[in-house]
Amino acid sequence: MTTENVYQRLGVEEVINAAGTKTRIGGSLIRPEAADAMREAANGFAEISELQARASELIRDVTGAEAGYVTSGASAGLTMAAAACIAGDDPEKMRQLPSTDGIPDRIVVPRSHRSSYDHAYRVAGATIADVGANDHRLGTGAENTKLWEIDAAIDEETVAVGYMQKPSTDPPLAEVVEVAHRHDVPVIVDAAAELPPVENLRRFVDAGADLVAFSGGKAIRGPQTTGILAGRKDLIRSTALQHLDMHEHRAIWDPPAGLIDSDAVDGIPGQGVGRGMKVSKEELVGLITALDLFVEEDFAASSRKWRAQAEGIVDDVDSLDCVSTRVDGGDVATVVVTVDGAAAPASATDVVRRLRTGSPPIFVGSDDIERDQFTINPMCLADGEADVLVDRLYEILS
Ligand SMILES: *Cc1c(COP(=O)(O)O)cnc(C)c1O
């Protein structure tokens, strides 16, 4: 007798994830200890604000920031960061968002840092102001966005500078911070996918960022719908005030002092712009458990394991003449497969499509299919799944 798993019972096909932590196929595998903790948390109640205060201490300790907060993902973290930078401690502004009539709402973002994740800022009511001209893409030797351009773009209406952290982004964060702070404007960093290495938990705070957003559901391997925001205490307080359930009577309102200094605010703001992005007690407990384990993890060992897996895949597909392979990437080794369009029976696009539509569906990295390449990321592969993938590649490509 075979027992069906939950995906089979629902009639939804389970997929093999060789693409890394992609939200559209469920992100990463939650740590078993985090899933267990969530089940345990589901058996009782706790004040969400107390759990957030506890999480704040942990985030403070592991990032070196003044405070932290658990959001429903890095994207929600950016929305809350924008809301905090716009409203500060003003309950009237909190009430007004996402309408920003009459209040400053500009977030200055270097043009080369823009992405559709900027939508997260706009959800809170922010207006994005582009800086720079992307001249570095012309191949004429021109630089990317310059510091003076950022400096000149910051005006009276500017509430923050938005910075997208990627290995390739410039100008360097510390220099952007210096310019922004000269105008008393905070810097928000989208570092959603910049873990591992674990050192990056501190790196952007150390560089002076005022709020940094990470995904909880990528390498931290917490619940998919969590993220962390680490940064300045006053901005985290504003985040909490605009995110927590705020239907409370002033006479009995007693928020945890470590998270919300109630003397700093004139009144209880009511349900804020973040109310629709709430985080449950189970998710909070799951994220705290996962983050604790993430900082303890032996990443050098995980890195070696992923590299060995990647090299194993390269060896296994070696006898396919129509592809060339190499192992790329730093902490997470990735196999880059280039399909020789003339010799192969299928293009890279065909391969990606047929892997997805076969049974079980297999997802590989497809960012470079236009250059006849796909990638295999071992991070989310379970035991034996690499073999299934290799067999399918032989079926499609021999
Ligand atoms: C994944 C990602 C996000 C969104 O993170 P979630 O935790 O899924 O909300 C935002 N920005 C970047 C650069 C990302 O890679």
Residue to probe by mutation, ligand 1, list 117, 165, 169, most atoms within 8 Å of CB:
117
Quote the CA–CA distance of 27 and 44 in Å, as a whole number.
Answer: 27
Percent of the chain with pLDDT over 90: 85
The protein residue with its alpha carbon nearest to ligand 1, atom 13, reads 192
Residue 351 lies in a domain: yes
Which atom of ligand 1 lies closest to the CA of 165? 13
Considering the domain architecture, whether residues 303 and 290 belong to the same structural domain is answered as no
107 contact partners, CB below 8 Å, separation of at least 6: 82, 85, 121, 126, 127, 128, 129, 158, 159, 160, 161, 162, 188
**Rounded mean pLDDT of 183-188?**
98
pLDDT surpasses 90 at 83:
yes
Considering the domain architecture, whether residues 43 and 191 belong to the same structural domain is answered as yes
| Lowest model confidence (mean pLDDT) among 131-145, 343-357, 381-395 | 131-145
* 23 close to ligand 1 (CB < 6 Angstrom): yes
* 349 close to ligand 1 (CB < 6 Angstrom): no
Q: How far is the CA of 77 from the centre of ligand 1 (A)?
A: 9
Residue 210 lies in a domain: yes
**Rounded mean pLDDT of 262-288?**
95
pLDDT surpasses 90 at 330:
no
* Residue from 55, 48, 45 nearest 222 by CA: 55
pTM of the model: 0.94
Quote the CA–CA distance of 176 and 68 in Å, as a whole number.
Answer: 22
Q: How far is the CA of 67 from the centre of ligand 1 (A)?
A: 21
State the total domains in the chain.
2
Q: What is the pLDDT of residues 280-317, one digit of tens each?
A: 999 999 999 999 999 999 989 999 999 999 999 999 99
pLDDT surpasses 70 at 1:
no
**Rounded mean pLDDT of 1-25?**
91
**Rounded mean pLDDT of 316-341?**
91
| Lowest model confidence (mean pLDDT) among 15-29, 137-151, 168-182, 263-277 | 137-151
24 contact partners, CB below 8 Å, separation of at least 6: none
* 262 — pLDDT class (breaks 50, 70, 90): confident
* 134 close to ligand 1 (CB < 6 Angstrom): no
Considering the domain architecture, whether residues 324 and 275 belong to the same structural domain is answered as no
CA angle at 117 for the pair 355 and 149, rounded to the nearest 5° = 130
234, 260, 294 — which closes off a domain? 294
* 192 close to ligand 1 (CB < 6 Angstrom): yes
Considering the domain architecture, whether residues 113 and 219 belong to the same structural domain is answered as yes
Considering the domain architecture, whether residues 269 and 331 belong to the same structural domain is answered as no
Q: What is the mean pLDDT of the chain?
A: 95
Q: How far is the CA of 250 from the centre of ligand 1 (A)?
A: 36
Q: How far is the CA of 202 from the centre of ligand 1 (A)?
A: 18
Question: What pLDDT is recorded for position 210?
Answer: 98
**Tokens 């004040």 sit on residue:** 47
* 193 close to ligand 1 (CB < 6 Angstrom): yes
Quote the CA–CA distance of 185 and 20 in Å, as a whole number.
Answer: 35
* 117 close to ligand 1 (CB < 6 Angstrom): yes
Residue 220 lies in a domain: yes
Residue 304 lies in a domain: yes
Strands (E) across the chain are located at 16-18, 67-71, 106-110, 127-131, 158-164, 187-190, 211-215, 227-231, 323-328, 334-339, 362-364, 373-376
Considering the domain architecture, whether residues 241 and 360 belong to the same structural domain is answered as no
Residue 154 lies in a domain: yes
Residue 1 lies in a domain: no
Q: How far is the CA of 193 from the centre of ligand 1 (A)?
A: 6
Question: What pLDDT is recorded for position 329?
Answer: 81
Please state, in angstroms and as integers, the Cα–Cα distance from residue 241 to each residue in 95, 265, 309, following that order.
11, 9, 46
Considering the domain architecture, whether residues 132 and 200 belong to the same structural domain is answered as yes
CB 23 within 8 A of CB 213: no
294, 327, 347 — which closes off a domain? 294
**CATH number for the domain harbouring residue 315:** 3.90.1150.180
Considering the domain architecture, whether residues 105 and 239 belong to the same structural domain is answered as yes
Considering the domain architecture, whether residues 75 and 180 belong to the same structural domain is answered as yes
Strands (E) across 56-105 are located at 67-71
Q: How far is the CA of 295 from the centre of ligand 1 (A)?
A: 20
Residue 312: give the domain boundaries: 6-25+298-397
Which atom of ligand 1 lies closest to the CA of 225? 7
398 contact partners, CB below 8 Å, separation of at least 6: 320, 345
**Rounded mean pLDDT of 9-37?**
94
Quote the CA–CA distance of 265 and 320 in Å, as a whole number.
Answer: 66
244, 271, 294 — which closes off a domain? 294
Quote the CA–CA distance of 334 and 377 in Å, as a whole number.
Answer: 5
Considering the domain architecture, whether residues 138 and 283 belong to the same structural domain is answered as yes
Question: What pLDDT is recorded for position 137?
Answer: 80
Considering the domain architecture, whether residues 305 and 345 belong to the same structural domain is answered as yes
Which atom of ligand 1 lies closest to the CA of 27? 8
Q: How far is the CA of 230 from the centre of ligand 1 (A)?
A: 15
**Rounded mean pLDDT of 353-359?**
96
pLDDT surpasses 60 at 347:
yes
* 215 close to ligand 1 (CB < 6 Angstrom): yes
Percent of the chain with pLDDT over 70: 100
The protein residue with its alpha carbon nearest to ligand 1, atom 5, reads 74
| Lowest model confidence (mean pLDDT) among 62-66, 117-121, 208-212, 379-383 | 379-383
Residue 217 lies in a domain: yes
Quote the CA–CA distance of 186 and 274 in Å, as a whole number.
Answer: 20
Residue 198 lies in a domain: yes
294 contact partners, CB below 8 Å, separation of at least 6: 195, 198, 219, 220, 221
The protein residue with its alpha carbon nearest to ligand 1, atom 8, reads 73
Question: What pLDDT is recorded for position 341?
Answer: 81
**Rounded mean pLDDT of 315-333?**
90
Which atom of ligand 1 lies closest to the CA of 193? 15
* 74 close to ligand 1 (CB < 6 Angstrom): yes
Question: What pLDDT is recorded for position 250?
Answer: 87
Considering the domain architecture, whether residues 274 and 352 belong to the same structural domain is answered as no
**Rounded mean pLDDT of 315-340?**
92
* Residue from 5, 37, 38, 72 nearest 382 by CA: 5
**CATH number for the domain harbouring residue 202:** 3.40.640.10
pLDDT surpasses 60 at 183:
yes
Q: DSSP class of residue 262?
A: G
